[in-house]
Structure 1
Amino acid sequence: MSIFDEPKIDCHNHLFDPQRFPYRSDAIYSPSGQEVATQPQFQRVMDAYGVEHALLVGPNSGYGTDNACLLHALATGGRRFKGIAVVDHAITLDKLAALKAQGVVGVAFNPALAGVAAMADALPLLARLAELEMFAQVQVQGDQLPDLLDLLGPLPGALLIDHCGRPVVEQGLGQSGFQALLRLADNGRAWVKLSGMQKFAEPDLLDEQAGPYVQALLDAFGAQRCIWGSDWPFIRQAERVDYGPLLKLAERLLPDAAVRRQVMWETPRRLFGFSD
């Protein structure tokens, strides 16, 4: 059985549908052309590649804290989707609970885009997420994570770290940011996405450059706390990225079928409460 026939959950992807859900006027970036990625288009991709469920991530591009497109997909997707929203840090507990009731399982924080300083006022929101048993999904890059460990480490809530922590490939496994990510495995409350490798490795060298980081994360976290995501529809990429080759990459980086099933099906199915 190939990876195309195995059950899968894609845990990092975005929807962009400016015709039905116009972008915010202050959007930092407005995807256009082939970057436009509607719910029907994504469901066709999922069907083509045997992806049964997806964790939709509200994007900073286009929508920011406007979650209308995301919530519509959760409401109409026939239980195929759960969501990660982008919210104002001052959002109330009641409004977070209302999002949770609609299928939102967490909130995205993006220091990789906004800088570490953007997390300075996040503690009350992180506490509210922990109270509701929702995830704090954090995207960092390079050496940002060590500056956030005092904030993220002691919290009782669950953490999702995006895109293998987006290491700097040239700095190797010993770089401070990646080592900080490996240490998060010790607290038992952190999960990591084996996703977005094209964000930190060269497109033609994903096996060689991303492979050692994926293996180190699997060794530290175990397959029970690693999940996979595509990052579809691959906005702002300098070179073309396609869904099928990324699945074959996952098959090569996770050659043990039992490990692959755990990472790409069992762990996210349990973690986010997907049901058939």
Structure 2
Amino acid sequence: MTDTPTTEPRIDCHVHVFDPARFPYAADAWYTPSPAETGTPDQLGHVLDAHGVRHALLVGPNSGYGLDNRCLLDTIARHPDRYKGVAVVRHDASRAELQALQAQGVVGVAFNVALLGVDHYRDTGPLLEHLRELGLWAQVQVEGEQLCALAPLLRDSGARLLFDHGGRPRPADGLGQTGFDTLLGLADTGRAVVKLSGWAKVSQQPHPHADVVPYARALLQAYTPQALVWASDWPFLRAPARIDYGPLLDWLAQLVPDAAARQAILWDTPRRLFGFA
């Protein structure tokens, strides 16, 4: 175990909030979190405080809320200096709707290709144009080879691109798999960023997920700490095994032992990219 100093300034760039007592889940939700998976804004605050995390990027979940961003927006409104958000919107959301979300602390829009499939997002050209014009992020979650089909649309859009969970490669397919190669290739756009997070979703091994370390190192080489951020994915919905917050920070410390590089990933880069004070 690596001794990770709690005095390091930190930003968690992928968490969810669920508060069904105040914001009931949608009746047609794709997945309804169990009580053990629920993470209220107050619970999130306690977790962040315990681990010295000063800010977090709240991501609107398809689970529970779908297109309902009220819980996310309420959490930001209660703590505007601590949180920013990534909303879930209709593909035909207008520029005015996006501007209204932006005024409430939203910095991007989620594209959950891993859940909804490539075809679901083929008509998002106009939405990506709005995002580019407003300086908002297209936060994209893909898995396997999905990015190969979407890369031309994303590259040509000119929008800022934020990729979830290391691109969710398949360790059994090796470093040369085309989806991950495509992600590495997008580093040359200068407007793509990747989250070092969510490895439990793809690893075939228990924590510390040795089989995904080569992918994380490849991302470090291609993107550098100036275009990489860290995230926990708290409160760990549908986790295949127990996940705890502290070991995730320790995993990053082992991957990036250089303190300056680690500070860039944990603090400097997300603070600059997402506008945290």
TM over 0.5: yes
**Correspondence list, 1:139-178, <5 A:** 139-178=141-180
Unmatched runs of 5 consecutive residues or more in structure 2: none
Q: Which runs of 4+ in 1 moved over 3 A?
A: none
Q: Which residue of 2 aligns with 1:206?
A: 208
TM-score, reference length from structure 1: 0.97
Q: 1:63 aligns with which of 58, 62, 65?
A: 65
What secondary structure does 1:138 align onto?
A: strand
TM-aligned CA deviation for residue 2 of structure 1: 2.5
User: Quick check: 2:197–2:231 contact (8 Å CA) kept in 1?
Assistant: yes
The reply to whether residue 28 of structure 1 matches residue 30 of structure 2 is yes
- Cα distance in 2 between the residues matched to 1:44 and 1:82: 17
Unmatched runs of 5 consecutive residues or more in structure 1: none
Q: Which residue of 2 aligns with 1:108?
A: 110
**Do the aligned partners of residues 61 and 91 (structure 1) sit closer, same or farther apart at CA in structure 2, a change above 3 Å counting?**
same
User: Quick check: 2:171–2:204 contact (8 Å CA) kept in 1?
Assistant: no
User: What amino acid is the match of 2:77?
Assistant: A
- Cα distance in 2 between the residues matched to 1:21 and 1:131: 32
Q: CA RMSD in A?
A: 1.0
- Cα distance in 2 between the residues matched to 1:46 and 1:96: 28
TM-aligned CA deviation for residue 191 of structure 1: 0.5
After TM superposition, the structure 1 stretch with the greater mean CA deviation from structure 2, 248-257 or 131-140, is 248-257
- The one-character-per-residue Cα deviations of 1:164-189 (angstroms, maximum 9, x if unpaired) are 00000111110010000000001111
The total of aligned residue pairs comes to 275
What secondary structure does 2:186 align onto?
A: helix
Q: 1:260 aligns with which of 259, 262, 271?
A: 262
What secondary structure does 1:193 align onto?
A: strand
Q: Which residue of 1 aligns with 2:230?
A: 228
TM-aligned CA deviation for residue 5 of structure 1: 2.4
TM-aligned CA deviation for residue 153 of structure 1: 1.0
- Cα distance in 2 between the residues matched to 1:33 and 1:23: 12
What secondary structure does 2:114 align onto?
A: helix
Q: Which residue of 1 aligns with 2:219?
A: 217
After TM superposition, the structure 1 stretch with the greater mean CA deviation from structure 2, 263-272 or 202-211, is 202-211
User: Quick check: 2:91–2:127 contact (8 Å CA) kept in 1?
Assistant: yes
- Cα distance in 2 between the residues matched to 1:117 and 1:43: 37
What secondary structure does 1:206 align onto?
A: coil
Q: Which residue of 1 aligns with 2:48?
A: 46
- Cα distance in 2 between the residues matched to 1:40 and 1:123: 37
User: Quick check: 1:194–1:229 contact (8 Å CA) kept in 2?
Assistant: yes
What secondary structure does 2:156 align onto?
A: coil
- Cα distance in 2 between the residues matched to 1:202 and 1:240: 14
- The one-character-per-residue Cα deviations of 1:219-264 (angstroms, maximum 9, x if unpaired) are 0011100000000000111211110111111111111111100001
Q: 1:191 aligns with which of 190, 193, 196?
A: 193
User: Quick check: 2:33–2:237 contact (8 Å CA) kept in 1?
Assistant: yes
- Cα distance in 1 between the residues matched to 2:204 and 2:233: 15
Q: Percent identity?
A: 55
User: What amino acid is the match of 2:98?
Assistant: L
User: Quick check: 1:207–1:253 contact (8 Å CA) kept in 2?
Assistant: no
User: Quick check: 1:203–1:239 contact (8 Å CA) kept in 2?
Assistant: no
TM-aligned CA deviation for residue 210 of structure 1: 1.7
- Cα distance in 2 between the residues matched to 1:267 and 1:92: 29
- Cα distance in 2 between the residues matched to 1:175 and 1:68: 39
User: What amino acid is the match of 1:161?
Assistant: F
TM-aligned CA deviation for residue 150 of structure 1: 1.4
